Amino acid sequence: MNKVTGNSGAGATQRPRFGRIDADLSLVDAAVDRSADFLFSQQHEDGYWCGELEADAMLEADYIYMHVLLESGDPGRMQRALVEMLRYQNQDGSWSIYPGGPGNISLAVKCYFACKLMGMSPDDPILVRARQWILANGGVVACNTFTKIYLCALGQYDYDAVPAIPPEIVLAPNWFYFNLYEISSWSRAILVPLSIIYAKKPYKKISPEQGIDELFVGGRENADLRLQFDHKRPISWRNFFLLADRAFHIVEAVYIRPLRKLAIRKAEKWMLDRLEMSDGLGAIYPAMMNAIIALRCLGYSDDDPQVIRARDEFEKLGIEEPAGDNHPEPTFRMQPCMSPVWDTAYAVFALGEAGIPRTDPRLLKAVDWMLSKEVRHKGDWAEKVRKTEPGGWYFEFNNEFYPDTDDTAQVLLALSRVENPRERYQYEVSQRAIHWLFAMQCGNGGWASFDKDNTKMIFQYIPFADHNAMLDPPTVDITGRMLEMLSNYGYTRADKRVERAIQFVFREQEPDGSWFGRWGVNYIYGTFLVLRGLEAIGVEHNEPQIQQAAEWIRMVQNPDGGWGESCLSYDDPVQRGIGPSTPSQTAWAILGLLAAGDNRSDSVAKGIRWLLDRQKESGDWDESVGSGVTRQALYTGTGFPRVFYLAYHMYRNYFPLLALTTYKQAMQGVE
Residue-range domain boundaries for the chain: 1-41+475-671, 56-334, 336-440
pLDDT band at 670 (very low <50, low <70, confident <90, very high): very low
pLDDT value of residue 135? 98
Q: Do the first three CATH levels of 1-41+475-671 and 56-334 match, i.e. the same topology? A: yes
pLDDT > 80? residue 256: no
Q: Which of 228, 250, 247 is nearest to 238 (CA)?
A: 228
Query: 551-570: per-residue pLDDT in tens?
Result: 999 999 999 999 999 999 99
Q: Which of 257, 94, 267 is nearest to 172 (CA)?
A: 267
pLDDT > 60? residue 63: yes
- Of 3.50.50.60, 3.30.160.270, 3.20.20.70, 1.50.10.20, the CATH number of 56-334 is 1.50.10.20
pLDDT > 90? residue 325: no
pLDDT > 50? residue 10: no
pLDDT band at 504 (very low <50, low <70, confident <90, very high): very high
pLDDT value of residue 21? 67
pLDDT > 90? residue 666: yes
pLDDT band at 9 (very low <50, low <70, confident <90, very high): very low
Query: 621-665: per-residue pLDDT in tens?
Result: 999 887 666 778 999 999 999 999 999 999 999 999 999 999 999
Give 479 or 14, the one with higher predicted confidence: 479
Q: Which CB contacts under 8 angstroms, 24+ apart, belong to 309-318?
A: 309/275, 310/275, 310/280, 310/281, 311/72, 313/279, 313/280, 313/283, 313/288, 314/280, 314/285, 314/288, 314/289, 316/279, 317/285, 317/288, 318/63, 318/77
Query: 389-431: per-residue pLDDT in tens?
Result: 999 999 999 999 999 999 999 999 999 999 999 999 999 999 9
Average pLDDT of the segment spanning 157-180 = 91
C-beta neighbour count of 41 within 10 angstroms: 10
Distance CA 250, CA 238 (A): 19
- What is the percent of the chain where pLDDT is above 70? 96
Q: Provide the CATH topology of domain 1-41+475-671.
A: Glycosyltransferase (1.50.10)
Query: 588-612: per-residue pLDDT in tens?
Result: 999 999 999 999 899 999 999 999 9
The overall longest dimension of the chain from CA atoms, in Å, is: 84
pLDDT value of residue 20? 55
Distance CA 636, CA 629 (A): 21
C-beta neighbour count of 489 within 10 angstroms: 14
pLDDT value of residue 237? 84
Average pLDDT of the segment spanning 84-107 = 96
Contacts of 33 (CB under 8 A, 6+ apart): none
Strands (E), 551-660: 624-625, 632-633, 637-640, 644-648
Give 469 or 497, the one with higher predicted confidence: 497
Query: 337-354: per-residue pLDDT in tens?
Result: 999 999 999 999 999 999
Q: Which CB contacts under 8 angstroms, 24+ apart, belong to 240-245?
A: 240/461, 241/461, 241/462, 241/463, 242/463, 245/163, 245/164, 245/463
Catalytic residue check, 406: yes
Average pLDDT of the segment spanning 270-284 = 96
Contacts of 485 (CB under 8 A, 6+ apart): 409, 410, 412, 413, 416
Q: Are 318 and 333 in contact (CB under 8 A)?
A: yes
C-beta neighbour count of 424 within 10 angstroms: 9
The single residue of 245, 279, 380, 406 carrying the catalytic annotation is 406
pLDDT > 50? residue 2: no
What is the CB-side half-sphere exposure of residue 557 using CA atoms within 13 A?
Answer: 24
Q: What is the dihedral of CA 174, 175, 181, 183, to 10 degrees?
A: -150
Average pLDDT, the chain: 93
- What is the percent of the chain where pLDDT is above 90? 83
Distance CA 16, CA 613 (A): 9
pLDDT value of residue 247? 87
